[in-house]
A and B are shown apart, each in its own frame.
Chain A
Amino acid sequence: MADELVLLDVHVSMFGMRVRIALAEKGIKYEYREENLANKSTLLLETNPVHKKIPVLIHNGKPICESLIIVQYIDEVWKDKSPLLPSDPYQRAQARFWADFVDKKVFDAGRKIWRTKGEELEAAKKELIDALELLEGELGDKPYFNGDTFGFLDLAFITFYSWFHTYETCGNFSIEKHCPKLIKWAKRCMERESVSKSLADPITVYEFVLMLKKKYGH
């Protein structure tokens, strides 16, 4: 019986993009459904009653929620193709640690940048730059966070690259100035088809944020 996969997602979501990249890396076919977060579908509310958020991957009728949990699920089910997590337990723990760091520090700081002004905005900028510098330190001189090959942590973080333009424009600063190695790494990742086809265009992301700012008066 062929696998049936449905992904409930939003084009500009850096979390949804992670799942798209993972599915592309494994060469898995799926049905993509764009959600309108102002008018969530019954399917979304039924498959993710706890958080009511995207992404949700529905595999043969069974839903999996939370982007990093979904990516690990994909890696474990389709384990014979393009492994995403390293095989060594210590390296796996490190990859999970830094992916968790991205979720906690990069996302929160980035969000504050486009939602605040003045002192709050400046504090958020500092928070983001500090987090990005730590990540750049973790990358070191490796081509990828995962080493010589693209892996879990690269996947978890590269999706935020589509949001850099938005952070930079709203915050009036340059990420490349602070973290040139990160930008080099991002461009290297963008050469992969799974990444370039899964990431939203930075202009599209920015226009989406402008729409939200107008709507909610940020």
Chain B
Amino acid sequence: MAEVKMFGAWGSPFSKRVEMGLKLKGVEYEYIEEDLNNKSSLLLNYNPVHKKVPVLVHNGKPIAESLIILEYIDEAWEGPDILPKDPYERANARFWAKFIDEKCMPPMWKACWSIGEERAKAKEEASEALKFLENEINGQKFFGGDTIGLVDIAANFIGYWFRIAEEIVGLELMTQDKYPNLCKWAEEYCKCSFVKENLPPKDKLADIFKGIIQAQSAPK
């Protein structure tokens, strides 16, 4: 019998991506919660290169990096497609998933937790990046078309985590008037019952984010 284990962290969007992929395929797995401030020797053994979550372990063999894990899940198990079948559309999906990781998430995250000029610069960078996504989602329910695909799973941070953080820090970046398509996508995305099951509780995340602000403004 196949043995599937997953090392994750409840608040990590990368970790939740993998859980979404596994649930989409109906794969049964054992979930192991990692304390990121005190990583288990098991995790460090399975991911010695990056020492991060998520890590999927299938029959004792580890796979790391969320997007790579998602492609593995798509190839190893039957079920709804995570990536499209057409090579050109696959290339497109990989492109946008990578774009989200490299060009959207870093400045969006930075914009939340920085101040002054640093925040303005990060906000500008994030705005530009989101414009591309705004155009890409135009006229579609999901990035994957009628159903959720790789890019939608990759964009979980944008659809959920970021919206919570943005509100708490008063950022006003992904606004309705500037990004109507993205905001509509986010609404549909979070309404989706399947997605709802794979999101951390809003109040718990909000507490974490408020904690970051407090730590920043604490006297040094």
CB within 8 Å of B: which residues of A? 50, 59, 62, 64-66, 69-70, 72-73, 76-77, 89-90, 92-94, 96-97, 100-101, 134
Tally of contact residues, B, Cβ under 8 A = 22
Q: Is the interface of B mostly helix, strand, loop or mixed?
A: helix
CB within 8 Å of A: which residues of B? 49, 58, 61, 63-65, 68-69, 71-72, 75-76, 87-88, 90-91, 94-95, 98-99, 103, 132
Shortest C-beta distance, A145 to chain B (Å), equals: 15
Q: Are B98 and A66 in contact (CB under 8 A)?
A: yes
Q: Are B71 and A66 in contact (CB under 8 A)?
A: no
Q: Are B88 and A62 in contact (CB under 8 A)?
A: yes
Known: A69-B94, A90-B76, A97-B68. 4 other contacts (CB 8 A): A64-B95, A90-B61, A90-B63, A94-B63
Q: Given the known A-B contacts A62-B88, A73-B87, are A93 and B71 also in contact in the complex, defined by CB atoms under 8 Å? A: yes
Residue from A66, A69, A93, A134 within 8 A of B68 (CB atoms): A93
Write out the residue numbers on chain B whose beta carbons fall within 8 Å of the beta carbon of A92. Answer: 71-72, 75
CA distance A93 to B94 in the complex (A): 14
Shortest C-beta distance, B126 to chain A (Å), equals: 14
Write out the residue numbers on chain A whose beta carbons fall within 8 Å of the beta carbon of B68. Answer: 93, 96-97, 100
Q: Are B94 and A90 in contact (CB under 8 A)?
A: no
Q: Are A64 and B49 in contact (CB under 8 A)?
A: no
Q: Given the known A-B contacts A69-B98, A100-B65, are A89 and B88 also in contact in the complex, defined by CB atoms under 8 Å? A: no
- Could you name 17 residue pairs across A and B whose Cβ atoms are closer than 8 Å? A50-B99, A59-B88, A66-B94, A69-B91, A69-B94, A69-B95, A69-B98, A70-B91, A76-B90, A89-B75, A90-B61, A93-B63, A93-B68, A93-B72, A96-B65, A96-B71, A134-B49
